């Protein structure tokens, strides 16, 4: 235990000696005494003193003045002072001592037992106070470390977001060009062999898009930024679309895929159809990937109905390679595969099941895997949904971009630094009868609007020399009304919400992500240009 220092101040030497002798047997106490208050003050200022026994009546400085001087100094204010007095026990003297800063009194002649007991009691209080001080200092250090760690985590998160935004842009930009050219080729005369090549090209671009979406989805879920968007969903419709997609993929691999549905299933549920489809797609895709012969089955059944709530089980069973029992838990972790060598043999990022697990948790559902090596696997996803009684609106057939009416009399400025994307977008706009001028950066866009009046501007977000955001801000701040009010669509390969918000904050009227749907782009252009015409008329 820490040794404490005690000071005795009394103008009579015999009193100092007797007190020293009385307290000599107290453990962990270092005693120093003086008959001079001034000397005692200097000692207290230079030493770490815990307790002081101070005589009230002294010729140079009385006890009250001595205590006041201790209290006024930041080095000594915390010393516990016990006044030692032979004068009256009247309240006015007690109050004077307490007001000066003393915490207790001892009366002469001193009772040895009471004196020792009080000193020991105050020693214990000093230990408690010092322990509290140490704890507070530790807490303060911990707090500072937490603040520092939070700052570092925030910087790491921002760096991660910036990396993901840049990666998204760099990958999505060429994918947008590929899907756009694929769409254009679909609307041109093709023989059977060329159509098959196009299928391979489209499948490869979709696989790339799935990988980048998986990485971005995992980041959004882990940062708590993903929210489920519940809407009326046709359960049969979701399963039908999955069956159509995966029957073809299974046939290409020489296996079969089929769906088995419970007759008691509700027609419509309240669900996020995109995320529900994502969960099932990942499970089915995994089943097909790891099955070289046999089949993959999606079975959907109603487990329980409670008022307007339904408990539904989705089971994906395959006859594939199976999983070691000691590796089942590992497969739900990011970037993990069931065994070493799986990636080389079957490919994949190891993100699919990690995202499935997190999406299931977002649904407050449960997922379990059952497998035996060489005997196939089964993944079971169970979740409660609200049942929707109303009928869903009939689904309309999707139009091709070449079937859309002409948009004559429209002139658009396209600012895009990627040549493939510029060529593809220009072709689509020309197909709709739109006149297009192209530039490669925001600075060139500003130069163009100086001399030509445009119906609308398509502005890529990330370009060299001047970014799309800076160009939009410059246009919105222009003094000339016909330039300031031109409709602007920001085209971004990033799917991060903050980048889309930045586009709107800069002054964009709409934001279109890459790769985009040509029909949706057509509708946005039509809406914005018609609104401009009404404003000008």
Decide if pLDDT at 393 tops 70.
no
The predicted structure's pLDDT at residue 220: 60
**Out of 1.10.3720.10, 3.90.1750.10, 3.40.50.2300, 2.40.10.10, which CATH number does the structure's domain 4-110 have?**
3.40.50.2300
Place of tokens 């996020």: 272
The pLDDT-based confidence of 217 (bands split at 50, 70, 90) is: low
What residues does each domain of the chain span? 4-110, 176-222, 231-388, 402-536
What is the DSSP secondary structure assignment for residue 522, as one 8-state letter?
A: H
Mean pLDDT of 477-497: 86
Residues whose CB is less than 8 angstroms from the CB of residue 318 and which lie 6 or more positions away in sequence, other chains included: 287, 288, 290, 291, 294, 295, 296, 297, 376, 377, 378
State whether residue 387 is helix, strand or coil.
strand
Q: Are 401 and 426 within 8 A, CB to CB?
A: no
**H/E segment holding residue 446:** helix 442-451
The predicted structure's pLDDT at residue 348: 45
The predicted structure's pLDDT at residue 342: 47
Tens digits of residue pLDDT in 41-82:
999 999 999 999 999 888 888 888 999 999 899 889 989 999
Decide if pLDDT at 445 tops 60.
yes
* Residue 100 burial class via C-beta count within 10 angstroms: exposed 0-12, middle 13-18, buried 19 and up: buried
The predicted structure's pLDDT at residue 338: 46
Cα 106 from Cα 114, distance rounded (Å): 9
The predicted structure's pLDDT at residue 356: 86
Same CATH topology for 4-110 and 402-536?
yes
> How many residues does the structure list for the chain?
537
Tokens of 257: 């895929």
Residues whose CB is less than 8 angstroms from the CB of residue 379 and which lie 6 or more positions away in sequence, other chains included: 283, 286, 287, 315, 316, 317, 367, 368, 369, 370
The hierarchical CATH code for the domain 231-388 is 3.30.565.10
The predicted structure's pLDDT at residue 471: 96
Cα 80 from Cα 126, distance rounded (Å): 8
Cα 123 from Cα 26, distance rounded (Å): 10
Decide if pLDDT at 391 tops 60.
no
Interaxial angle between packed helices 63-72 and 91-100, expressed in degrees from 0 to 180 and rounded to the nearest 10: 30
Cα 62 from Cα 54, distance rounded (Å): 9
The predicted structure's pLDDT at residue 317: 95
The predicted structure's pLDDT at residue 103: 84
DSSP 159-226: HHHHHHHHHHHHHHHHHHHHHHHHHHHHTS---HHHHHHHHHHHHHHHHHHHHHHHHHHHHHHHTT--
Tokens of 502: 């930045």
The hierarchical CATH code for the domain 402-536 is 3.40.50.2300
Question: Which range (29-38, 106-115, 390-399, 431-440) has the least confidence?
Answer: 390-399
pTM for the whole structure: 0.47
The predicted structure's pLDDT at residue 198: 82
Q: Are 103 and 82 within 8 A, CB to CB?
A: yes
The predicted structure's pLDDT at residue 510: 93
The pairing of beta strand 295-306 with beta strand 309-318: antiparallel
The pLDDT-based confidence of 403 (bands split at 50, 70, 90) is: confident
The predicted structure's pLDDT at residue 87: 66
The pairing of beta strand 377-388 with beta strand 309-318: antiparallel
The pairing of beta strand 256-261 with beta strand 377-388: unpaired
Decide if pLDDT at 370 tops 50.
yes
Mean pLDDT of 236-261: 90
Tens digits of residue pLDDT in 284-294:
988 998 899 99
Residues whose CB is less than 8 angstroms from the CB of residue 45 and which lie 6 or more positions away in sequence, other chains included: 73, 75, 76
What is the DSSP secondary structure assignment for residue 32, as one 8-state letter?
A: E
Cα 203 from Cα 216, distance rounded (Å): 20
Q: Are 270 and 230 within 8 A, CB to CB?
A: yes
Place of tokens 């030509």: 452
What is the chain's mean pLDDT, rounded? 85
Adjacent-strand bridge partners of 371: 377
Alpha helices in 223-335 (DSSP H): 235-253, 273-289
Tokens of 206: 């979709």
- Identify which of 427, 403, 401 has the alpha carbon closest to the alpha carbon of residue 414: 427
Cα 513 from Cα 281, distance rounded (Å): 23
């Amino acid at each position: 235990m820490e040794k404490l220092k005690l000071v005795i101040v009394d103008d009579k030497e015999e009193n100092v000696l007797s007190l020293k002798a009385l307290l000599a047997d107290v453990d962990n106490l270092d005693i120093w005494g003086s008959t001079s208050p001034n000397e005692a003050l200097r000692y207290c200022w230079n030493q770490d003193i815990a307790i002081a026994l101070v005589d009230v009546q002294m010729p140079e400085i009385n006890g009250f003045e001595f205590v006041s001087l201790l209290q006024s100094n930041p080095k000594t204010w915390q010393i516990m002072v016990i006044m030692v007095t032979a004068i009256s026990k009247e309240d006015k003297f007690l109050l004077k001592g307490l007001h000066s800063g003393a915490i207790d009194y001892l009366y002469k002649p001193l009772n040895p037992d009471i004196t020792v007991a009080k000193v020991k009691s105050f020693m214990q209080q000093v230990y408690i106070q010092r322990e509290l001080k140490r704890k507070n200092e530790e807490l303060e250090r911990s707090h500072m470390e937490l603040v520092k760690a939070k700052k570092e985590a925030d910087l790491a998160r921002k760096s991660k977001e910036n990396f993901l935004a840049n990666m998204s842009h760099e990958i999505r930009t060429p994918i947008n060009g590929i899907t756009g050219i694929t769409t254009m080729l679909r609307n041109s005369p093709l023989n059977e062999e060329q159509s098959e090549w196009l299928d391979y090209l489209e499948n490869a671009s979709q696989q790339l898009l799935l990988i980048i979406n998986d990485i971005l989805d995992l980041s959004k879920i882990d940062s708590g930024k993903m929210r489920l968007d519940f809407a009326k969903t046709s359960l049969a419709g979701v399963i039908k679309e999955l069956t159509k997609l995966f029957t073809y993929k299974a046939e290409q691999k020489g296996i079969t895929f089929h769906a088995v549905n419970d007759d008691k299933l509700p027609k419509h549920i309240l669900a996020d159809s995109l995320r529900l489809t994502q969960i099932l797609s990942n499970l089915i895709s995994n089943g097909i990937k790891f099955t070289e012969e046999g089949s993959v089955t999606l079975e959907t059944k109603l487990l329980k109905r409670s008022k307007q709530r339904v408990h539904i089980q989705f089971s994906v069973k395959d006859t594939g390679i199976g999983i070691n029992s000691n590796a089942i838990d590992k497969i739900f972790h990011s970037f993990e595969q069931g065994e070493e060598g799986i990636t080389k043999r079957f490919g994949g990022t190891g993100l699919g099941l990690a995202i499935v697990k997190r999406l299931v948790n977002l649904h407050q559902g449960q997922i379990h895997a059952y497998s035996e090596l060489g005997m196939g696997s089964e993944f079971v996803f169970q979740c409660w949904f609200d049942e929707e009684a109303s009928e869903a609106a009939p689904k309309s057939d999707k139009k091709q971009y070449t079937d859309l009416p002409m948009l004559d009399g429209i002139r658009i400025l396209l600012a895009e630094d990627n040549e493939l994307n510029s060529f593809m977008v220009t072709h689509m706009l020309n197909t709709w009868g739109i006149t297009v001028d192209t530039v490669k950066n925001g600075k060139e866009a500003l130069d163009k609007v100086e001399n030509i009046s445009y119906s609308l501007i398509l502005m890529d977000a990330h370009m060299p020399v001047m970014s799309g955001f800076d160009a939009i801000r410059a246009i919105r701040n222009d003094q000339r009304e016909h330039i300031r009010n031109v409709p602007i669509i920001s085209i971004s390969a990033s799917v991060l919400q903050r980048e889309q918000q930045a586009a709107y904050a800069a002054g964009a009227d709409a934001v279109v992500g890459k790769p985009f749907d040509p029909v949706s782009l057509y509708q946005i252009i039509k809406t914005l240009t018609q609104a401009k015409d009404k404003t000008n008329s």
